[in-house]
Amino acid sequence: MSFNLRILNNSDSAALRALRLQALADSPANFGADFGRESLQAASYFADKINHPDNIGIFGAFDGTQLIAMMGLQRDSGLKRRHCAKLWGVFTSPAYRGQGISASLLQMLIRIARQQPGLLHIRLSVNARNTDAQHLYLRAGWTAYGREPDALSVDGEMQEEILMTLKLVEDLSL
């Protein structure tokens, strides 16, 4: 099956809301945000995510017109942090998993990240128990550089996260 991959635009805010809320409900231990709070947000909150000034893009996969997978790339703000960006909100709707959709979206995201002047690293954090996602990131070139114990408290249970980075430029002295 082939899917259409593209960066979300203003017309996608309702689809982003639906998939994002599905993600937070499906996988609470894998996201810092929580469903209860985000589900109360106005439509403009999701439009603002698409239009955030530090956004490099929210990348989506579509089955026809339905958004079925997503991931966001946001550049850090501030002069001393502009060389880093954060990967966030990685999610594939359960019925579409294991078909290479996230791997393809990551390839597109990395290609566009490499076009951003001065961008050197893409950082992410992933639940230490989430071996599927770790496998996905390792295959795409990320390496682990640390761990954050008790990073999230989910329903009273502490969750450890692994911190990973993808170096976009091999020789940073160039």
Contact in structure between 29 and 159 (CB atoms under 8 Å): yes
Alpha carbon distance 77, 75 (integer Å): 6
Strands (E) located in the chain: 4-7, 55-63, 66-75, 84-92, 121-127, 143-154, 157-167
**Burial environment of residue 20 by CB neighbours within 10 A (0 to 12, 13 to 18, 19 or more):** buried
Stretch that binds ligand COA, among 2-10, 37-45, 101-109, 114-122 (CB under 6 A): 101-109
Contact in structure between 121 and 165 (CB atoms under 8 Å): yes
The contact mask relative to ligand COA for 132-151 (x = CB under 6 A, - = no) is xx-xx--x------------
Stretch that binds ligand COA, among 76-84, 126-134, 143-151, 165-173 (CB under 6 A): 126-134
Q: Which of residues 21-40 bind ligand COA (CB under 6 A)?
A: 27, 30
With binding defined as CB under 6 A, does residue 92 bind ligand COA? yes
DSSP label of 10: G
Pick one of 102, 113, 164, 166: the residue that binds ligand COA (CB under 6 A).
102
Tell me the helices (H) and strands (E) count for the chain, helix number first.
5, 7
With binding defined as CB under 6 A, does residue 98 bind ligand COA? yes
With binding defined as CB under 6 A, does residue 91 bind ligand COA? yes
CB of 54 to ligand COA, least distance (A): 19
Residues that bind ligand COA (CB under 6 A): 27, 30, 69, 90-92, 97-103, 126, 130, 132-133, 135-136, 139
